[in-house]
Amino acid sequence: MNFDLTEEQQVLQKTVRDFCARSIVPNAARWDREERFPAEIIAPMAELGLFGMQVAERYGGAAMKFHDYVIALEEIARADGSVGLTMASHNSLGTGHINLAGNDAQKAKYLPRLATGQVLGAWGLTESGSGSDAGAARTRAVRREVSDAGGGIRVEWVLNGSKTFITQGSVAGVYVVLASTSPQKKQKGLTAFIIERGTTGFRSGKHIEKMGLRASDTTELILEEVVVSDDQRLGEIDQGFFDTLKILDRGRIGIGAWAVGIGQAAFETARQYAKQRVQFGQAIAEFQGIQHMLADMATELEAARLLVWRAAWMQDLKVTTTRESSIAKYYAARAATRACNAAVQILGGYGYTREFPVERYLRDVKLGEIGEGTNEVQKMVIARLLLKDLQ
């Protein structure tokens, strides 16, 4: 086992970290206060290749390893969880689904724009009554045949329904939406469709105000008699759920890296504060209670990072990582939340104010225990596979 980053990975990490120090960190608190999507950061991130890291070079991507992607994502999230979530959802979900299940024509049409940041991608699975239970989805896609001008028959799909908690919901240009094509099959009857902004009947709904990640765009999606051609069907009919499982295996690793990045930022802030804050004649870093908190934070974050890296390494080997992805995401989210909570405690009253960023870190990182499968769902997945192995 070799846990050292390659020379190329070290350059990537430093390049992204320097970019964050210049362009993201000085603005993150303001973006959070304004509760607006920072559109101005998209083009600079695209210039670094951060929106097509897993896309083949022939489609304008960087064709990097998955491990490279999580290294870069951790650095972006360390600077700002909201921007990190934009990067994660674009790469892992929207673009990732087309990259996984798209045919050659679909990849050639959509991936170049997504990989170069000309448009952002979004992914629509969750509904108001369908979160962890994908089979409860009420958005429907009905197949119909239409005669064309030449006397031939073409296939269309008519979609109706709504989605919620959609990251990039009002700012994306290309959406992947899951709809039920065989309701009687529940989650095994879902099919994915590519829908572009501006399609008749397709629009963003209510902007969702959140506890944290306020600079991440989150909205509902509304579909009213949305007609798409069969060319926009992504993957096979009724196979959307099975592709979704593969998407989430990768997405959960990304969320693990995202959580570690926020937790690392919280740890670094708390450590620096503890060395400077003087009480009872000495820096509070000299008190054993503070030292133990810092030691716990560092240990758990390092363990989380290694779990994320292991799962990413396995993805690069083209190995199924369902168990490892859930373990990495579950542990990283929990470790990062604990680290952010400890950082607020170490800063005391100042930690509870907006003068320091740790209160924002704590608000942001909580999504790690909820999004892309709650911690409780991750434990169900892990336990099911453990018991299956036993049998």
Q: Which residue has the tokens 């190995």?
A: 319
- 227 and 106 in a single domain? The answer is no
Residue-wise pLDDT tens digits, 314-330: 999 999 999 999 999 99
User: To the nearest 10°, the Cα dihedral for 323, 325, 330, 331?
Assistant: 100
- 143 and 273 in a single domain? The answer is no
> Which residue range forms the structural domain that includes residue 212?
122-238
Listed residues 185, 211, 238: the one ending a domain: 238
Q: In 183-273, where do the E strands start and end?
A: 190-196, 202-207, 218-229, 233-234
Q: Which residues contact 297 (CB under 8 A, 6 or more apart)?
A: 263, 266, 267, 270, 338, 339, 342, 343
Q: Is residue 126 part of a domain?
A: yes
Positions marked active-site: 372
Give the Cα separation of 187 and 21 in Å (integer). Answer: 43
- 289 and 252 in a single domain? The answer is yes
280: enclosing H helix or E strand:
none
- 112 and 189 in a single domain? The answer is no
Listed residues 210, 238, 266: the one ending a domain: 238
- 141 and 54 in a single domain? The answer is no
- 139 and 223 in a single domain? The answer is yes
Q: Which long-range contacts (CB under 8 A, 24 or more apart) does 40-47 make?
A: 41/83, 42/117, 42/120, 43/117, 44/19, 45/19, 45/76, 45/83, 45/87, 45/117, 46/116, 46/117, 46/118
Q: Find out whether 257 and 74 touch, Cβ atoms under 8 Å.
A: yes
Listed residues 185, 210, 238: the one ending a domain: 238
- 56 and 78 in a single domain? The answer is yes
State both tokens at 134: 């994908």
User: To the nearest 10°, the Cα dihedral for 329, 299, 214, 205?
Assistant: 10
Q: Pick from 9, 68, 11, 24: which is nearest to 262 by CA?
A: 24
Domain CATH for 208:
2.40.110.10
- 97 and 145 in a single domain? The answer is no
Q: Which residues contact 313 (CB under 8 A, 6 or more apart)?
A: 67
Q: Pick from 296, 284, 292, 261: which is nearest to 349 by CA?
A: 284
Confidence (pLDDT) at 391 = 61
In terms of Cβ atoms closer than 10 Å to its own Cβ (0-12, 13-18, 19+), residue 123 is buried
Confidence (pLDDT) at 147 = 86
Q: Mean pLDDT across the stretch 376-388?
A: 95
- 259 and 382 in a single domain? The answer is yes
- 115 and 26 in a single domain? The answer is yes
- 193 and 271 in a single domain? The answer is no
Number of independent structural domains in the chain: 3
216: left (phi over 0), alpha (psi -120 to 50) or beta: beta
Residue-wise pLDDT tens digits, 222-268: 999 999 999 999 999 999 999 999 999 999 999 999 999 999 999 99
- 249 and 376 in a single domain? The answer is yes
pLDDT band at 89, cuts 50/70/90? very high
Q: Is residue 1 part of a domain?
A: no
Residue-wise pLDDT tens digits, 127-161: 998 878 877 889 999 999 988 877 788 999 999 99
The fraction of the chain above a pLDDT of 70, given in percent, is 99
